[in-house]
């Protein structure tokens, strides 16, 4: 893992924003996840809150930062140290999706625009391993990278007023799952019967940055069974 040239800046009275080069890459993702893990171990999760995006970390401290210069120097030294070069553990989560046209409101239109069959679009979408870059926009909404170029397609010019919880969609170079009912402009191709966000759990969202997602197709009958059961998302541990 290489050292990137980072920028550090004050962000309010309690936070510091760290930025990586402005590109979306798995190498930057791995570096961010590794540094975030080290920060949380060193400073204790009770003293800081770390939020990550495609190429940045926002570190928010419990107390006011009295000396930004020294705090940034400490962060730089930590990043440059050998402490962050250790293996991190992530998980591959396997998410059932029903691509039936009852749920895939835009499936046929998208297939026609891409000049492929519905079956081919589903096959391409479900065989890919997607990287979880970060969680945001909605509680439990996973920003997933790695969508095959064959099925990339722009977001809708006019967003829908309501997209249903569990809807699986394509927007530009990304795919994702709407974790709750909300407006949205992505192209809907299916729906998952599993819940992605549960406030009653210690970790409301099951996945984290650095994890991977793979979808698998289920018929509508199996979808209904899963929907009405205490389904546990299948997962396996991955090691870097």
Q: What does the domain layout of the chain look like in residue ranges?
A: 7-84, 89-239
Determine the topology of domain 7-84 in CATH.
Gyrase A; domain 2 (3.30.1360)
Is residue 192 a contact partner of residue 95, using CB atoms and an 8 Å limit?
A: yes
Going from the C-alpha of 132 to that of each of 2, 16, 163, 176, the distances in angstroms are 21, 23, 21, 10
The answer to whether the 7-84 and 89-239 domains have the same CATH topology is no
CATH 2.40.100.10 fits 89-239, yes or no: yes
| Predicted local distance difference test score (pLDDT) of residue 97 | 98
Residues 68/70/71/76 CA torsion (nearest 10 deg): 120
Tell me the per-residue pLDDT of 53-75, one tens digit each, with 9 for 90 and over. 999 999 999 989 999 999 999 99
The pTM score is 0.87
Q: Which residue has the higher pLDDT, 1 or 36?
A: 36
| Predicted local distance difference test score (pLDDT) of residue 197 | 83
Which of 99-103, 121-125, 143-147, 197-201 is predicted least confidently?
197-201
- Per-residue buried b or exposed e for 201-236, using 16+ beta carbons within 10 Å of the residue's own CB: eeeebbbbbbbbbebebbeeeebeeebeeeeebebe
| Predicted local distance difference test score (pLDDT) of residue 138 | 82
**Residue 28, pLDDT above cutoff 80:** yes
- Residue found by looking up tokens 């998208």 in the block: 110
Whose CA is closest to 143, among 49, 87, 204, 207?
207
């Amino acid at each position: 893992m290489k050292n990137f040239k980072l920028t550090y800046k004050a962000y309010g009275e309690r936070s510091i924003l760290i930025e990586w080069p402005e590109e979306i890459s798995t190498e930057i993702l791995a570096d961010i996840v590794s540094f975030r893990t080290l920060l949380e171990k060193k400073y204790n999760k009770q003293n800081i809150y770390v939020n990550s995006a495609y190429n940045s970390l926002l570190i928010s401290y419990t107390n006011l930062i009295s000396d930004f210069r020294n705090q940034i120097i400490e962060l730089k030294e930590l990043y440059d140290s050998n402490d962050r070069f250790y293996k991190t553990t992530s998980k591959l989560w396997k998410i059932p999706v029903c691509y039936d046209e009852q749920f895939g409101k835009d499936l046929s239109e998208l297939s026609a625009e891409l000049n492929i069959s519905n079956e081919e679009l589903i096959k391409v979408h479900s065989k890919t391993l997607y990287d979880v870059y970060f969680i945001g926009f909605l509680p439990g909404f996973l920003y997933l990278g790695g969508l095959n170029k064959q099925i990339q397609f722009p977001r809708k010019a006019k967003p829908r007023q309501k997209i249903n919880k569990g809807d699986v969609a394509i927007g530009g170079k990304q795919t994702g799952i709407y974790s709750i009912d909300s407006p949205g402009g992505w192209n809907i191709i299916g729906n998952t019967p599993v819940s992605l966000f549960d406030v009653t759990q210690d970790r409301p969202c099951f996945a984290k940055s650095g994890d991977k997602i793979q979808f698998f197709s289920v018929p509508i009958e199996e979808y209904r069974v899963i929907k009405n059961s205490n389904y546990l998302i299948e997962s396996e541990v991955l090691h870097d």
